[in-house]
Structure 1
Amino acid sequence: MFPFKTREAKASGVPFVALSQLGTARWTRDKISLAREGMVNNAIGYRCVRLIAEAAAGVRWKASEGGEDALALLDNPNPEQSGIELMEAFYGHLQTNGNAYLHGVVLDDGAQPQLPRQIYTLRPDRVTPIIGAHGWPLGWNYKVDRMGKRFMREADGWSPVLHFKLFHPLHDHDGLAPLEAAGKAVDVHNAGAAWAKALIDNSARPSGALVYGKGGDRMTPEQFSRLKQELEELHTGASNAGRPMLLEGGLDWKPMSLTPADMDFIAARHDAAREIALAFGVPPMMLGIPGDNTYSNYKEANMAFWRLTVLPLVEKAGRSLSNWLSVRSQGRIELRPDLESITALTSERDALWARLENASYISDDEKRELAGLPPVTKRGEV
């Protein structure tokens, strides 16, 4: 089918051909471009990643008995980064790529297996798995420019690289990032910003056409050149915004694109921003997006953000770190988030303590256990 439609305007008596073709939408696909468009060039995506990464990295860890060395390692992982900086990069990669990698540096001194001496983050776009015969990774290739490094799983089953990923229903070794799920909304939001900037640069006027003559008359070459020069010099660019255009000789202006009102431009950008926030699990109220009344106030939205987004992520990361470090430890290491250190949960703790204080049917040690505190009376004592 021929893609153009033609129609004739009989009311004015001026024959013309209207060309109409809606092209295929272009979406950002690969993860490197998504990270660039969704975080580097998009304020909503940038703020969502920063909110989650900074909040999750600021949660302190508590360990089971014998896990003091693991806590010290996570607090001071390497000479270049603090523990918060390391985990902020870890959670940030997870939100933008769906995968996060930690490299543990181990000194091979011939002694018994020991905990890593240092931990570093690896950029996910530079890491590729080495798949074995059974479909599981045997190691990892890390490539920077033309230089590469291979990290293979050791004989005791320990891998020097911890791979933490988000669930992906269609891939065995790759995670699905929130930014990838919000890719179309990111493209719509960025395209709206680019369209608004282009409109401002074009004197805040939509594109159109100058129609000349009522009876099929044509301009002379001199008239055409003069008109084109005047349009370029006097009516193009932001500096010429608002300059009136004087039409003569039967010229008429015909708009050829939709206006912002026709496209509901501002509402479309807000909808795209809300969809980006939804993919990340950040309440739109925390981003200043208008039109969202899901939560009655900011405090309630912040509580939902911590309970539904940050804490499940930190809990999963703690379990992965526990399994990874326990292979190189003398005993089992259990890392859990220290909920007492989270100021956003203060109101919940106050309510819990008030309920426990009024519960007369349980002992003090049972109350302390429910509050997450060790018992005062040791086991076996009367």
Structure 2
Amino acid sequence: MGILSWLGFNASEHRDTETPEGVMPPRRSAASEVNTDTALSLVAVYRAVSILSTAASQLSLDVWRGREQIDTPLVARRPDVAMPLSEWLAETVNSLALTGNAYWRITRDDRGPRNIEVLDPWKCSPQEDGTLGYESKRLQPSEFRHLKLMPRAGVLYGLGPIQAARAEIAGALDLRNYSSAWFASGDTPSGVLSSDQHLTAEQAKQYKDIWNQREAHEVAVMGAGLSYSPVMLNPEDAQFIANRQFTTTEIARLFGVPAHLMLAAVEGTSLTYTNVAQADLTFVRWSLMTYLRAIESALSEVLPGQQSARFNLDALLRPDTTTRYTAHQIALTAGFLTVDEVRDIEGLPPLASPTSPEVPADA
């Protein structure tokens, strides 16, 4: 019987049995106690949020008027003058991932929006009349934008992964605390000294004291039918590997992050370059785009006129060099791209044009 079974612990739940004091936490985590800080103390949650914000922070924003791309205004290149675009995007995505909501305070002048500041979501409270309570202020609709990760009809707040799955996060915290408390308590004996003879309590204490008082690595001499068996923890049991792996996979699923990006192996699957690339593309389309669309929509509402903001996803969707060059070759052979157009896609300048013949000055 493994140590986990001996403890009454399985991969999916804690059994409601009593355990020695110090081994199991005095009480289990309640879903109502799960918050941003406790959730982020889990490695899997921290990494999932980090992956989402890192992916978004690599992107740039383009601005369009109808079907025409225009020069990106400063407010889209650097929404908050106090920080670079990458940090501003990371703060927005982190707020959405951790709380399901993000709030921008907009500063305007006669020419339009000048600054967009990401507010602390815990200090914001949307009101029924469309205003936003922020600290001791009341912001009017033109002064802020409220981004919701999962909007729900009739509900003022968006719903984030942590808020939607508090029970699962609480279970993951229980598992982490359980394993930490087990080893910290020192309740596991190093071995068992047993005898095939009947021993009184006094004799048992005497033999135990003799055993414990011997010098380290000293040869042990036992009589009276005594034998010693060390208590060995299976490495897999000692690390609670199966349970932690299950937790990591569940959190990856909760945030919509592929398991390989969480550095977690999924049993029964074999990753190749092709299906890893496909998983990355699926992550961008069906997970990351939830955050990016919320930002695009809110920023488009802030920009003046008919301007709209769109993320340039080339940094995330750009295929490998061999795949790109093969596609370029097909385009060149078919004749629907020129060499200079291909070079422009690759970020290279056009080939030098042939030098025009000089025209005499008196011609």
Query: What is the TM-score when the length of structure 2 is the normalising length?
Result: 0.66
Whole-angstrom CA distance in 2 between matches of 1:119 and 1:301: 33
- Describe the SS at the equivalent of 1:289: coil
C-alpha contact (below 8 Å) 1:96/1:179 kept by paired residues: yes
Following TM superposition, by how much is the alpha carbon of 1:55 offset from its aligned partner in structure 2, in angstroms?
0.8
Cα distance per residue 1:201-239 (max 9 Å; x no partner) = 2347179xxxxxxx9x998xxx99x99x99xx99xxxxx
**Residue type of the alignment partner of 1:101:** Y
Cα distance per residue 1:65-113 (max 9 Å; x no partner) = 4986863113223342111111110001100100011111124xxx5xx
- Picking from 112, 132, 149, the partner of 1:140 is 132
Q: 1:83 to 1:26 in 2, by over 3 A?
A: same
Whole-angstrom CA distance in 2 between matches of 1:142 and 1:318: 23
Aligned to 2:121: 124
Q: 1:101 to 1:129 in 2, by over 3 A?
A: same
Whole-angstrom CA distance in 2 between matches of 1:192 and 1:20: 15
Q: 1:38 to 1:349 in 2, by over 3 A?
A: farther
Q: 1:343 to 1:62 in 2, by over 3 A?
A: same
Aligned alpha-carbon RMSD (Å): 5.0
- Describe the SS at the equivalent of 1:141: strand
- Picking from 172, 178, 181, the partner of 1:189 is 172
C-alpha contact (below 8 Å) 1:322/1:334 kept by paired residues: yes
Matched, 1:303 2:281: yes
Whole-angstrom CA distance in 2 between matches of 1:81 and 1:192: 38
Moved more, 283-292 or 196-205: 196-205
Aligned to 2:80: 78
Aligned to 1:88: 90
Q: 1:355 to 1:190 in 2, by over 3 A?
A: farther
- Picking from 346, 355, 362, the partner of 2:319 is 346
C-alpha contact (below 8 Å) 1:141/1:149 kept by paired residues: yes
**Residue type of the alignment partner of 2:124:** V
Aligned to 1:151: 139
Count of equivalent residues: 313
Whole-angstrom CA distance in 2 between matches of 1:171 and 1:34: 24
Aligned to 1:10: none
Cα distance per residue 1:132-176 (max 9 Å; x no partner) = 3xxxxx200112xxxx121023xxxx3x11111022558611111
**Residue type of the alignment partner of 2:35:** L
Moved more, 122-131 or 342-351: 342-351
Aligned to 1:38: 39
Query: What is the TM-score when the length of structure 1 is the normalising length?
Result: 0.63
**Residue type of the alignment partner of 1:305:** F
Following TM superposition, by how much is the alpha carbon of 1:30 offset from its aligned partner in structure 2, in angstroms?
4.9
Following TM superposition, by how much is the alpha carbon of 1:296 offset from its aligned partner in structure 2, in angstroms?
2.8
**Residue type of the alignment partner of 2:61:** W
Q: 1:204 to 1:25 in 2, by over 3 A?
A: closer
